[in-house]
Amino acid sequence: MPTTGNTTASSAVATAGGQRAVIEAAMRAIDGGTAATLALVLETSGSTYVCAGAIALFDRHRQTGWLSGGCLEPEIARRAAHAAAERTIAWLEVDTRDDEALFGGSAMGCRGRLRLALLPLDSLPGWDTLARLWLDCRGAIQLDLTSAGAIACRVGEVEESWQLSAGLPEWSAGPDQCGHWQVSIEAPATVVMFGAGPEAPILLPLLRSMGWLTATVECRQRWLDAARLADVLHQDAPARIVDSGRFREPFAALIMHHNFELDLETLLALSARPPPFIGLLGPNRRRDDLFKLLPDAARERLRPHLHSPVGIDLGGRGPEAIAISIAAQLQSKWHRR
């Protein structure tokens, strides 16, 4: 996210999670010269913990990300270490669809199959450039791999390609049959919170832990500490932020000032080009009062995108319950549920 003008990148924020955590860990490994291996799910069948495009990172010190409930990771780590040492692509298939898998071996009983590629990052020069573009919301990571070791990777208009040594996948039908996979790691979800009220200290760390990129727009001194829990804090009026190049068309905008005039200003500013999801905090009566003061054209542009009151009715009251309900709704809408 941009950090110009009255904009600051936060440093004391919660640890990120999801695919974002894996990509950031991969960048740190490359920057620090640490031999690390990216585990990429190529395909799945049956009941599995993850789907194609899921990733985890393994180096000699730690693991970032999960591809199972913990039962597969020791074997993945062992294979990943070998791939890093040999600078070759390693392949791994885990099949727990048979009855024997309920009790034998690691006794997972998941009734599913995973096929993985283990990619040594040391052998992928330029990967960090693509990772930074992904974190800057320039698009999904599009990967094209073959069992012969050819890899092409694209983010937006930028592409890198590599040729690595690779053994034959253990599931291959024969040496003359080349496997081919096209896998996408979706771009990170982005949210801008207008107003950092009592819900922010719970909601912002929660969204980061789920892999969201977060920003706040807040210039009221009372709420700045809460606003700094986002990745980026914009200390300016909502209208000026929306109208500037610092507003990078997020997936979601949350209007949470607990202030009628600031909420009205934000709705009017967002109406020019509404993001896919606009969440407005407060009861229906308050929303109706706000809409009475908006021009007809602004109301019509906002309606298809507006969720008011924002959040799923999970039960409970207070900032904690509200924060969880908003996070649940955002995650559901991002994944098109």
Q: For residue 182, report the phi and psi dihedrals to the nearest 5 degrees.
A: -120, 115
Q: Residue 121 region, left (φ>0) first, then alpha (ψ -120 to 50), else beta?
A: alpha
* Together in a domain, 171 and 42: yes
Closest CA to 281 of 262, 302, 256, 263: 256
Domain of residue 95: give its range.
34-185
For the beta sheet containing 63-64, the strands, ordered from the edge strand earlier in sequence to the opposite edge, are 63-64, 55-59, 36-46, 112-120, 88-95, 165-166
Average pLDDT value for the chain: 90
In a domain, 245, yes or no: yes
d(CA 80, CA 93): 13
SS3 assignment, position 281: coil
d(CA 126, CA 38): 14
Signed CA dihedral, 225, 11, 240, 279: sign only = negative
- The distance from CA 255 to its chain's CA centroid, rounded to whole angstroms, is 21
Tokens 């919301």 appear where?
137
Which tens digit of pLDDT belongs to each residue from 289-326? 999 999 999 999 999 999 999 999 998 899 999 999 99
Asked if 235 contacts 8 with a C-beta cutoff of 8 angstroms, the reply is yes
Which tens digit of pLDDT belongs to each residue from 30-77? 999 999 999 999 999 888 888 999 999 999 889 999 998 888 899 999
In a domain, 236, yes or no: yes
- pLDDT for residue 4: 39
User: Could you say which of 150, 185, 220 is where a domain stops?
Assistant: 185
Quote the pTM value.
0.87
- pLDDT for residue 46: 87
More confident residue, 294 or 103: 294
* Together in a domain, 180 and 216: no
Q: How confident is the model at residue 10 (pLDDT cuts 50, 70, 90)?
A: low
Percent of the chain at pLDDT > 70 equals 90
SS3 assignment, position 71: coil
In a domain, 27, yes or no: no
